[in-house]
Every structure is written in C-alpha cells, then in structure tokens.
C-alpha cells in the first residue's frame, strides 16, 4: 500500500473556473456581487428595488438562479436591464461553470455591475466561488436572529449583511441588536444595512453605497490601465 | 444538500490521481473537512458510499479528518479553538483575531494498492 499526497481542494475545478471569471471581470471592469440567503428572505424584491434605483446609463446585468421556473427573471427584467435565469434543475447552488455558460449568451457585452442572485439556500452556495468581488448575505426579520450562528459559513464569507423586511419588526419577535451581534461574532468586519423593500426604509443608503462601489471599481480599473 | 456533488468531485480527483500510477487500485481517500465548510459529514459519507458502490472504485474507503474552527490572535500570536463562536483570544482577550482553519474542504491523500 502506498499513500500519495494529493493536497487539492475538493472543488478545485470550480475554483479554477472561478479564478478565470474573476480575471475576466477585472479585465472588463465588472463589479460582481453574489447574493445569498434562505428562500423567502426577499432577495428578488430587494434586487428589483436595487435595479429601479440604478442610473440608466450604468450597465447592469443580473443572473438569477433557481431550481425551477423563470419567474424571477421575468420579474427582474421588467426594470429594463438584461437578466438571465439559470435553472439548476435540482442543484441547490450556482457554480462557476453555470455563470460562465450564462455569460456566453451576452457575447461582446461589458457590464459595470453584475448581480448574481444565488439559489435560496444558506449552506451550499457558500462553498462555490463564482468569481465575485464579494458575497452579500440577506437575512429577513421573519427568520431567527440566531441564523448567523446556525449557518456561520454564509455569514463568515460575506462582507455585507442586509437585514431585510424591517417594516415587519412590530409584528415579529426579532431582536435587531442580537442579530447584529450574532453576525459580528461570526464576522467582526461585516457591513450591515437595514432595509424594507415595502416602505423603502434604508434603501437610499444601500443604493448610495452600491453606486459608490461601482464608481470605485471604475476608478480602480482606470488606475490599473 | 450539495454533498452528492462534493462526493462526485472527490471520486473524479481519485481517478485522476490513480491514473498517474498505472496498475494501481485506490483503496482509501483522505479528506479534510472544516467545521464551517458547510458540509454534513454523514451526508457526505452516504453519498460517497452510494457513488462508489458498483462503480470502478468499488471498495474505496473514505476517511474524514474533521477540523475545528481555529483563530490566531493578531496581538499575542496565540492560536486557539473557537468554541461557541467566541473569537476573543482566551489568553489576552483581544478581539483582533483571524481565522486560520475550519473552512477546509481538501483532498489530503489517496492510498493505492498494487
């Protein structure tokens, strides 16, 4: 019997494709965010509100992943930016190859911002790098404030947390401070936005931050050329 | 939920490694799985066994080296296990600590028989 050291990541192949995507996004000046959450936390409406506030001259595209149906793509496309549905036909997450394949449907197009809505799931999507600049995790107040502790991977790997549906706080036993503290126990540097897509609360701050990130990325691209 | 895909990736990697040693048969594969890797070990084992059964890799054993979350203190250099999400350094109480382990999802080795 002989033991051979392998020392490879299990998701080596996904990481390889993700690294190619990341290089391409850097070359093309595309800022990419990967949105992760449980099903029903309001990702799609949040993205609709985000798109509605984007200046029309910003080149934004959206990839939205679901196990079945193109309902989300149809909702998001109404705002007028290019949108593609990725149906995973059973898979509980998006992987880098699915992103690469979806982008091939927009040949020659360059985007300033690519928003990826992952499949609703706080576990599996955290393992798959999609070449994004950052992961953003959504948590709605109708879930438990201990979600960051139950699913630490998602909160550990995200740089931003959106605490969504805050208009429902009067009706649910959700403690905002505990939720914030739990997220910071897992990830002390996580940035937190509090939003309601129904009343619009907090969306202005989020949208201003997003526009700033797009501008900073453009400056970075120009500086590197 | 994605353990089937992970098990399948592991078997692909085993086939590639074994292919480098013609005539050998892989008997065991060793993984490192971190506490925060988002992988359920029992589910992974179940998927692995289901895929291996009746395949060209029948009989292949899976060994999982489970790695707890570990942080290193940026102030005093202490390395410690993170228990109950407590990231403060147990030696100097600093909160400036960074993860050094616990997110692994690696293939460490393959054992081959002639």
Q: Which candidate from A1, A9, A11 shows the least CB-CB separation from B113?
A: A1
This prediction has a pTM of 0.87
Instruction: Measure Cα distances from A44 to A47, A148, B12, B70, B95 in Å.
Output: 5, 21, 35, 35, 36
In contact, A188 and B95? CB cutoff 8 Å: yes
Q: Please report the pLDDT score of residue A124 as a whole number.
A: 87
Question: Is B74 inside any structural domain?
Answer: no
Tokens of B49: 């066994």
Question: Is A224 inside any structural domain?
Answer: no
Question: Is A69 inside any structural domain?
Answer: yes
Question: Is A63 inside any structural domain?
Answer: yes
Question: Is B106 inside any structural domain?
Answer: yes
For Cα atoms A66, A71, A76, give the angle at the middle one, nearest 5 degrees.
95
Question: Is B50 inside any structural domain?
Answer: yes
Cβ contacts of residue B45 below 8 Å, gap of 6+? B62, B64
In contact, A27 and A19? CB cutoff 8 Å: no
Question: Is A225 inside any structural domain?
Answer: no
pLDDT tens for each residue of B37-59: 889 999 999 999 999 998 999 99
Question: Is B9 inside any structural domain?
Answer: yes
Q: Are residues B109 and A12, on separate chains, in Cβ contact within 8 Å?
A: no
- How many Cβ atoms sit within 10 Å of the Cβ of residue B54? 8
Question: Is A77 inside any structural domain?
Answer: yes
pLDDT tens for each residue of A80-89: 999 999 998 8
Distance from CA of A176 to the nearest CA of B (A): 19
Question: How many domains does chain B contain in total?
Answer: 1
In chain B, the DSSP E strands lie at 25-34, 61-67, 70-73, 79-81, 97-101, 105-113
Question: Is B78 inside any structural domain?
Answer: no
For the complex shown, is ipTM > 0.95?
no
Question: How many domains does chain A contain in total?
Answer: 1
**Cα–Cα distance measured from residue A63 to residue A30, given in angstroms and rounded to the nearest whole number:** 14
Q: Which candidate from A1, A6, A13 shows the least CB-CB separation from B9?
A: A13
Mean pLDDT, residues A16-29 = 96
Question: Is B77 inside any structural domain?
Answer: no
Q: Which of A1, A16, A46 is nearest to A163 (CA)?
A: A46
Question: Is B10 inside any structural domain?
Answer: yes
In terms of residue numbers, what domain contains B7? 3-68+101-113
In terms of residue numbers, what domain contains A100? 12-211
Contacts of A93 in chain B (CB under 8 A): 2
In contact, A180 and A151? CB cutoff 8 Å: no
Q: Which candidate from A4, A128, A153 shows the least CB-CB separation from B17?
A: A4
Q: How far is CA B19 from the centre of its chain?
A: 22
**Cα–Cα distance measured from residue A92 to residue A124, given in angstroms and rounded to the nearest whole number:** 7
Mean pLDDT, residues B10-17 = 94
Domain containing residue A108: CATH number: 3.40.50.300
Question: Is A80 inside any structural domain?
Answer: yes
Tokens of A2: 């002989």
Question: Is A1 inside any structural domain?
Answer: no
Instruction: Indicate if the alpha-carbon torsion angle A197, A201, A207, A212 is positive or negative.
Output: negative
Q: Please report the pLDDT score of residue B1 as a whole number.
A: 61
In contact, B29 and B14? CB cutoff 8 Å: yes
Domain containing residue B38: CATH number: 3.30.2320.50
């Amino acid at each position: 019997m002989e033991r051979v050291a392998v020392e490879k990541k299990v998701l080596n192949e996904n990481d390889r494709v993700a690294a190619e995507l990341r290089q391409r996004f850097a070359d093309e000046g595309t800022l990419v965010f990967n949105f992760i959450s449980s099903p029903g936390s309001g990702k799609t409406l949040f993205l609709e509100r985000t798109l509605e506030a984007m200046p029309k001259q910003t080149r934004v595209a959206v990839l939205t992943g679901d196990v079945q149906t193109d309902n989300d793509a149809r909702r998001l496309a109404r705002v007028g930016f290019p949108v593609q549905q990725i149906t995973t036909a059973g898979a509980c997450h998006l992987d880098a190859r699915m992103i690469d394949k979806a982008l091939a449907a927009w040949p020659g197009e360059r985007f300033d911002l690519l928003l990826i809505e992952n499949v609703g799931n706080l576990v599996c999507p955290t393992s798959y790098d999609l070449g994004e600049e950052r992961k953003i995790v959504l948590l709605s107040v109708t879930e438990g404030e201990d979600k960051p502790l139950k699913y630490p991977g998602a909160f550990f790997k995200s740089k931003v947390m959106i605490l969504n549906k805050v208009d429902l706080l009067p009706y649910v036993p959700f403690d905002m401070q505990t939720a914030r503290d739990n997220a910071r126990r897992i990830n002390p540097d996580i940035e937190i936005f509090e939003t309601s897509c129904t009343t619009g609360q907090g969306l202005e701050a989020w949208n201003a931050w997003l526009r700033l990130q797009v501008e900073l990325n453009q400056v970075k691209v120009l500086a590197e050329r | 939920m994605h353990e089937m895909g992970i098990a399948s990736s592991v078997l692909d990697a085993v086939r590639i490694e074994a292919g480098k040693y013609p005539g050998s048969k892989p008997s065991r594969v060793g993984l490192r799985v971190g506490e925060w890797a988002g992988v359920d070990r029992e589910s992974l084992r179940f998927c692995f066994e289901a895929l291996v059964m009746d395949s060209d890799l029948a009989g292949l054993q899976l060994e999982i080296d489970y790695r707890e979350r570990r942080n290193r203190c940026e102030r005093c250099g202490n390395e410690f296990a993170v228990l109950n999400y407590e990231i403060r350094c147990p030696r100097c109480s600093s909160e400036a600590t960074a993860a050094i382990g616990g997110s692994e999802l690696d293939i460490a080795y393959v054992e081959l028989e002639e």
